[in-house]
Structure 1
């Protein structure tokens, strides 16, 4: 059983519901705080267990967050949390308890911190290792404004501290003793997985020394006064350390040691980090809420990640030169099977995307073929390395971009909406988007066989749909449908996992007497000349894709058509030029116009010579201004 420890009983004189703001929290007697911590854990287990979300990290920071809000006066004092994996308790203590039933739901409480939700939330970016740089800018601004009494506190996990950006910030923060800043290092030995590298060894050494002395260490050498290590589940000790840190009025590092999943046995014992993020679970057992008999009756569909993991392992067995690299995302990106079979050929370098890519470039220079498995949204952080360290040298590095397109409940900074746009400007880059499991296996093999430059595969978050067979393959392009009894009015180009939507749109068009050809280009960039020939044979070409318009397939096809003097108008149905909120993936796609009826409506209006103004602003306008009929 996984009953949470420290849970309050109904007779407790205090209640979490009394905490409507951090000011109320400061009225609690110290002896009441352990009871409050137990209530918070019970609340999180019940609510996050019902909706899904980041459970393990937040269970580990209950006492730390209580202490932070008792010592500092948010929002006058700024608390900067390095991504919202550890922000749920902060949400609870800042008046959002009644919204936790809507966590990760459309229009509900955000998975991460949100400036729109509360003045206590400064940043909402879910990309790690950024908090210290925010703090550096804030403390400089406070110093210039003469605001000496408003504290700046940055809370960062040891996993996030493996990112290079964090060390760039430490280099600046520690060099200015006149600018007080407090860095709280939440050291639980894990991010998604155990923290790797020399930093993990150094922190382990500091934990072993304990508080007997404050030895010289990497942080003191960077200019920080170091306090701790402090027991991160002892509120009194935490408050004492934080008060002292504030009183020093200089850069201070407070080393706090916590247990990920604290108070929930299943999560504490979670070696595989299954409780880092959970779906709906049974709070009493920690197991998935779906009954076993229901799982047996309806086996879970395969994810794109699992299909990739299986095929990569097969390729690794065939090719000794194949290696894999990831940035602290071994399990989420599907590298675990290969790591277990070939531990010397899989490298987890920590939350350090820039280093990941350039390290892969070095591996390629050494005669190997690296596969970089990374979330699409995190590739944004390493654009310069892709461009200058990989592509400029024409190195054979394959990027497998998990969670490309709309991801769903994780929110705006997790959607993989920009990778195609970024990669499209990289000379020599080839980008593929499989429509099903067979094409994923096929395209992965094609990608790692390329030796004269980089390649990338875009994989969505959803489960893999059943295979869609092609009628024919023409110069690498799969023809999925040709209208038999109608003229070929429109070429529908289905990118990635959109064929089901596009084929349904083609059926709808036929009901209106419009014929179509549906193709899957497989490789999106560079634009296949055969796709241009097909476009030239139709009245209209329409691309459907889960990327933003600028730099997407539609804009690339329109430009290529213009360069080739092909007059067929090109219309793009795509994602909006905006930050999308969190919500169910299918709902977000529908709202963006990426549903069969919306695609068909866009086509009909374009063929009628009308602007698709009744479609959402997210889709249907020309890929190049003035090119719509």
Structure 2
């Protein structure tokens, strides 16, 4: 079948099992081929081919709401809803989004790049359906890893209490990005091993119905028999106790099993949970063998060998972070590392190998991780929470209430700060300065390179005056020389990278090389620019800012972060509060909108965060120098 000719999933209604099986093979081949060039979430999507085909065969999207939790598993859905012809542009600038996106298709009814949101969204959509007296199905498709998120459990509790007609598809592949952890994971493991529960229960009910209705003791005995069977087979039947009708485990790669159980669900009143067992990476051996590692979301790769097409280069910032934490931990047994289901992404899996008893993977539970770190710090330990910028947003109240309010010495290694490229709007790490800067007691640092990063991690560890966040970008460093000995850096003291007499550019992190390049361009036009590495975003270097105010020369602030409430705003506030507001101050950074996916360099171009645009902006605030251009 020509997948790129598909416009709508309606054709599946008439497909036989044989045709579905052939289509499943074609879709897997298509994904393996296309993603070998573009990269993308291969493993999760190979695992849900049959499930997605059967959902679209038996339900009527978009009338029936298919809500994909996270979106890692929505590629097959995109193919079936008319977007196969765009897969060559997957995750590229102005190309196909790697997650569900409403602007792409009416079949994308919910957008998500963070996990554990689908059940709450489903409850809302089902409630709206009922209030409007409409008739449609609502089906959140959620992974077993996402169930470790507290929000998902809150929604399960509410749906079960309200007895709302929602069919939850639990895609259980024993993985999130990394292998799942926790008691709930163990519950699912027991359920996987008791696959005869539903069939045995139905057989028992059938037998009971055949017995003449003698009433009294026999009736109550029958109910006790059913309850005993439930506990015998499922050791608690977690989901039924939550108010759901449970069907499963179901073979997620068997069309007959999927069809029969989905039809059961259609006929069942109230909330239903279908426990579907799938294999992450199914159909491609390298992805099956390493589903929790690089094959969750690989870059380009060679199909035949499975070799990744990665270029050798300087160490990744995340690796420097992890190595530094491990180096410190060798000297101090109080150091404990925490991750929220991202040991590989944060590179803390390396730490775990060295110090297995001092590494905690809490699952997709950033709220819990943040407060757990606070609890560790309250007892004199030195917790380090390695977390992506965009995921720490999920623990905001815990930052406010449990960490900063109690002024506890928690180290936050904030990975993927700034633009992250292909993962787009839901993953751009551009808000962390804004949501942390106004919190009392919080300090925020960002290094100019990988060597400064290791010293900042050590600084945060040595700090005994409350929480400290060290933010660093996605990707590799610059290949600078790494110092052997770790040293604490002054907090709130900026470094002048190069002197200049006409204007001062205040910047940090990834924007520092751009500022230096702009200064070189300006020098050729007769404009002398001072470039300052403002590596302490909070606290500011107040002494230097007062000096700049006394000089009364223009200032340009430059940041790869949201402008509203960001670093530039902090500089303006300080100058205003000190009555030093007479000089011209211009801010450059991320505007007040969400930034879509694409290569970081192309996004820089779009946003005007390039050396040329920085130079042009400087010329606007140094008017006397324009004629020299």
Q: TM-score, normalised by structure 1?
A: 0.90
- Secondary structure class of the residue paired with 1:229: strand
- Would you say the 8 A contact 2:445–2:470 is kept in 1? yes
Q: CA deviation at 1:78?
A: 0.4
Greater helix share, structure number: 2
Q: 2:459 aligns with which of 446, 453, 458?
A: 446
Q: Report if the CA contact (8 A) 2:492-2:538 is conserved.
A: no
**1:507 aligned onto 2:505:** no
1:535 aligns to 2:548 (yes or no): yes
What displacement does 1:344 show?
A: 0.9
Q: Which has the larger radius of gyration?
A: 2
1:609/1:145 CA distance change after superposition, 3 Å: farther
Once residues 234 and 468 of structure 1 are traced to their aligned partners in structure 2, the CA distance between those partners, rounded to angstroms, is: 55
How many Å separate the matches in 2 of 1:524 and 1:245? 53
Q: Residues 118 and 135 (structure 1 numbering): CA distance in 2 closer, same or farther, change over 3 Å?
A: same
Residues 428-443 of structure 1: pairs in structure 2 closer than 5 A:
428-443=441-456
Q: Are 1:83 and 2:70 counterparts?
A: yes
Q: Are 1:227 and 1:241, in contact at CA under 8 Å, matched by a contact in 2?
A: yes
How far the C-alpha of 1:465 sits from its partner, in A, is 2.0
Structure 2: stretches of 5+ with no match in the other structure: 202-229, 231-235, 483-488
Q: How big is the shift at 1:508?
A: 1.5
Give the distance between the partners of 1:442 and 1:550, measured in 2 at CA. Answer: 29
For the residue of structure 2 that corresponds to 1:153, the secondary structure is strand
For structure 1, the residue ranges without an aligned partner over 5 or more in a row are 1-13, 612-629
Structure 1 segment 510-529 matched on structure 2, within 5 A:
510-529=523-542
2:177 is aligned to: 192
- Structure 1 residue 380: Cα displacement: 1.1
> Structure 1 residue 576 and structure 2 residue 570: aligned?
no
Counterpart Cα distance in 2 of 1:572 and 1:16: 47
Out of 403, 412, 423, the position equivalent to 2:425 is 412
- 1:402 maps onto 2:388 in alignment: no
Classify the secondary structure of the residue corresponding to 1:382.
helix
Q: How does 1:110-121 map to 2 (within 5 A)?
A: 110-121=97-108
2:142 is aligned to: 156
Counterpart of 1:564 in structure 2 is: 578
Please state how far the C-alpha of 1:193 moved relative to its aligned partner: 0.9
1:599 aligns to what?
Answer: 614
- DSSP-derived class of the 2:603 partner: helix
Instruction: Find the aligned partners of 1:278 and 1:344 in 2 and give their Cα distance.
Output: 30
Greater shift in the superposed pair: 255-264 or 209-218: 209-218
Q: Distance in 1 between matches of 2:481 and 2:576?
A: 31
Corresponding position of 1:239:
259
After superposition, where does 1:65-104 map in structure 2 within 5 Å?
65-104=52-91
Q: Determine if the alignment matches structure 1 residue 62 to structure 2 residue 62.
A: no
Counterpart position of 1:615: none
Cα distance in 2 for partners of 1:146, 1:92 equals 32
**1:315 counterpart residue number:** 328
Could you tell me which residue of structure 1 aligns to residue 510 of structure 2?
497
Q: Deviations over 1:418-453 (max 9, x none)?
A: 000000110011000000011101111111111121
CA distance in 1, matches of 2:117, 2:142: 9
Match of 2:218 in 1: none
User: 2:552 and 2:609 mapped to 1: Cα distance?
Assistant: 22
CA contact (8 A) 2:370 2:399 kept: yes
Q: Given the superposition, is the C-alpha separation of residues 475 and 120 from structure 1 closer, same or farther in structure 2, using an over 3 Å criterion?
A: closer
What corresponds to 1:10 in structure 2? none
Tell me the CA shift for residue 495 of structure 1: 1.4
Map of 1:365 onto structure 2: 378
Task: Specify the SS of the correspondent of 1:390.
Answer: helix
Cα displacement (A) at 1:466: 4.3
Q: CA deviation at 1:53?
A: 0.3
Q: CA deviation at 1:70?
A: 0.6
The equivalent position to 1:552 in structure 2, one of 566, 569, 575, is 566
CA distance in 2, matches of 1:211, 1:39: 32
- The correspondence of residues 24-63 of structure 1 with structure 2, limited to 5 A, is 24-63=11-50
User: Which position in structure 2 is the counterpart of 1:377?
Assistant: 390
Contact 1:558 1:569 in 2 (8 A): no
Matches within 5 A, 1:297-336: 299-336=312-349
Decide whether aligned partners of structure 1 residues 386 and 20 sit closer, same or farther in structure 2, where only a CA change above 3 A counts.
same
Q: TM-score, normalised by structure 2?
A: 0.90
Q: Structure 2: how far apart are the matches of 1:474 and 1:198?
A: 41
Answer yes or no: is the 8 Å Cα contact 1:436–1:468 preserved in 2. no
Deviations 1:258-313 (A, max 9, x none): 000011111111165210011111112211246xxxx5xxx323211111121111
- What is the aligned-residue RMSD (CA, Å)? 1.9
Change (3 A) 1:41 1:335: same
CA distance in 1, matches of 2:114, 2:624: 43
Distance in 2 between residues matched to 1:218 and 1:302, nearest whole Å: 45
* 238-247 vs 532-541, which moves further: 532-541
Deviations 1:389-408 (A, max 9, x none): 00000000011111111110
> 1:341-360 alignment to 2 at 5 Å?
341-360=354-373
Sort the Cα spacing of 1:346 and 1:340 in 2 relative to 1 into closer, same or farther, 3 A: same
Give the drift of 1:593.
Answer: 1.6
Distance 1:191 1:461 in 2: 21
Kindly state the Cα deviation for residue 570 of structure 1 after the two structures are TM-superposed.
Answer: 2.1
Aligned residues: 583
